Amino acid sequence: MTTSVSDELLRYPVGQAQLPEGPLSAAGRTALIQELAELPAQLTAMARAVGGERLQFPYRPGGWTGRQVIHHVADSHLNSYVRYRLALTEDNPTIKPYDEQGWAELPDVAATPITVSLSMIEAMHSRWVTLLHHLTDEQWQRTFYHPGYDRTYTLDQALALYAWHGRHHLGHLKLLMA
């Protein structure tokens, strides 16, 4: 089945992730870290702008609801934070992938107010951003292996990926306002 342009835009409202081939510059890292620092407030503002009723609907046919998106960001970014800590303390650890769709369908997603995940994102990003500001150039080149993608990521690449991930899901929530 061919994906139409509109389907692609609904799936990837900010485009697909682009990972750096080599080390990021200090300025590039700073900009991406700032995106992670700003994400909790942006998610909270977007959730308020969308409104509770519309968060119950999917942002595209067959997609997650706004509620699932917010809980997913909390789950995903918590996993990324742990992956950073593993990469900083182990040599190229193999991380544990998780079933994102399965997690999005667990009963706590429907039963937990989004404010819980928004608070979790705010607190966890505070720790994560603090960690990121203190990494050396050498530490940014540490790696982890993701068996689900059969790929090794540097922490620079993971930073670019998760800054994009935040923009990506903010884009999904924005679609609920249309």
Place of tokens 């990494």: 135
Among 51-55, 79-83, 127-131, which stretch is predicted with the lowest mean pLDDT?
Answer: 51-55
Compute the Cα dihedral for 24, 35, 164, 126 and give only its sign. positive
Q: Give the pLDDT confidence of 5-50 residue by residue, as tens digits.
A: 588 889 999 999 999 999 999 999 999 999 999 999 999 999 999 9
Q: Where are the domains of the chain?
A: 25-175
> Does residue 60 have a pLDDT over 50?
yes
Q: Give the pLDDT confidence of 130-176 residue by residue, as tens digits.
A: 999 999 999 999 999 999 999 999 999 999 999 999 999 999 999 99
What superfamily in CATH does domain 25-175 come from? dinb family like domain (1.20.120.450)
Q: Give the pLDDT confidence of 98-114 residue by residue, as tens digits.
A: 999 999 999 999 999 99
